Each structure stands twice: as C-alpha cells, then as structure tokens.
Amino acid sequence: MLKQVAEGVLIHRSELLENNSVVVQGRDGVLLVDAGITGAEMTCLANDLRQLGRPVVAGFSTHPDWDHVLWHAELGEAPRYGTARCAAFMQDVLSDADWEARVAEGLPPEIADDTPLALYGLITGLPADTAQLPWDGPEVRILEHPAHAPGHAALLIEERRVLIAGDMLSDVFVPMLGDTGNPLDDYLVGLGVLEDVADDADVLIPGHGSVARGEEVRARIILDRAYVEDLRDARVSNDPRVVSPKPGWEWASGIHEAQARSLARGDKREGTPD
C-alpha cells in the first residue's frame, strides 16, 4: 500500500527487509526509486499506481545491491537509471553466464521463490557527474558518493525537501561498509555528502526502515558517523541498532559483529611485518 510522506512523494514498504520503494509524482507519470523485492509487492505497487492513473515514466536504482535493482513487467518499460558506476557494476554481473544462479543463491530463502530476476539489473548508466535526473517532474539532484556500494547515490527532491538516502541512515541497520580499500573513509565521505544537504531536507527516506523528519534527519547522520568512528577507533559501539535492535531484528546485529571482525583482521595484517 502506498503511503504519502511529503507532497507528491509516496513510499511502498517491503515486509521482509523493510525496503522503501519511493514514488515521486511528475507531470505525466511517476519516478520509481528502488522498485521492491518480491513479485507480489511489485505487482501490488503497479496496481496502486494503475488505480491512481500514474504510469511509471522513469526508474532509478540507488546502488547495485540485489534488492535495489529488481523490476517487474507490471511496472512497464520505462528507462531505469543509475550512476555510471552502478550500471557498469551490473553489466559486469550480467556478463557472467551463471549470474542468475549466483544471485538466486544469495536471496533470503523466505522470498527466493517470489523474487523475479527476468529484468534484474537492467540499468542505464547516466553520464559521469550528471547532476539532475533526466525526467519530466520535480528536479531531482543526484548525490553520488563512495559509501556502501559502487556508484551509490542519494537523491534530493529539492522542491519537496525530501532526501532519498539509499542504504544509509537507516534505523534498523547499522552502516554497512563497502568492499573497498578504505571502507571506513569512504563511508565517512558519503556521510559528508549527505550532511551537506541535510538542511535542505525535511523528510529522509532510507533504503530500509522508518522515515525520519525534521531534526531526526541530522540525528541519523550523527548516529551513523558515531558508529563508523567507533569501528575506526576500535571502540565498543553503544549504537542502539547493535545493543537493542528492533524486536525480531536481532539477527541484524550480526552485520556489526562481522564488520568488527573483518576490520580487526585487517588491522592485524597491516601490523604484521613482511
């Protein structure tokens, strides 16, 4: 079911991982950001848009994680954009003859049978340094940064004062580091990009979890920064998403534990004489 969070901006919430698909109303149709993760959910979303008489005229994937590059035939054949780096990453994935089996193996078992892969990852890369999303609707600023995943981008709907953060600033997941040479520094750079536009946003839509409003937008940035700095400085984290996660989400604490172990191993390797 679609829920309005700002003028002309609605979300559709996934049940399993609380993915937020974002619908932005334009002149002749809607922009759909991160379409969802199950066939049933995307069909429901398509039906809701059909009832509103608002076809999808453009799509956008904030980054190339599996749950952000899915699509369903019921949503139509609108161009699906991403950053150049996001699209290049997906092209590399799809060039593997066994890509579908590899993706299927990584799906949560609860939804594996209802996650359509026929249109998986078909992203059109926008030219590098593209500042505005090309579509006939409110201006949408593209904020690319190096945190979490290749070609990750947040979107700022300026006249609606809405920030779509992708897989950052969640209240259910701690910051999830990318697989880069400097994941902590890269994440802090990404947070800096979001912090630079925080005063321009009254509403924050994370990739997973609840919408933040007003002062909570900057509070989410502060919380994420504190978590990353704790990891960087090898401090025990008191982040509430680790210490007392949402009931039923205790498993999500394993993300923190895995990241702390991985960074500790990296530190030991860096400190080992050749």
Instruction: Catalogue all structural domains in the chain, each as residue range(s) with its CATH number.
Output: 2-270 (3.60.15.10)
Cβ(123)–Cβ(87) below 8 Å? yes
pTM of the model as a whole: 0.95
| Mean pLDDT split into 10-residue runs, the chain, 274 residues | 96 95 97 97 96 96 98 97 98 97 96 97 96 97 97 97 98 95 96 98 98 98 98 94 91 93 69 32
pLDDT value of residue 1: 85
Q: Residue 30 has which token pair? A: 């809607």
pLDDT value of residue 274: 31
pLDDT value of residue 180: 87
pLDDT value of residue 14: 94
Cβ(46)–Cβ(116) below 8 Å? no
Amino acid at 120: Y
Of 134, 127, 121, 52, the residue nearest 92 (C-alpha)? 121
pLDDT value of residue 9: 98
As a whole number of angstroms, the distance between CA 7 and CA 21 comes to 16
Of 180, 190, 268, the residue nearest 228 (C-alpha)? 190
Cβ(140)–Cβ(126) below 8 Å? no
As a whole number of angstroms, the distance between CA 65 and CA 73 comes to 20
pLDDT value of residue 210: 97
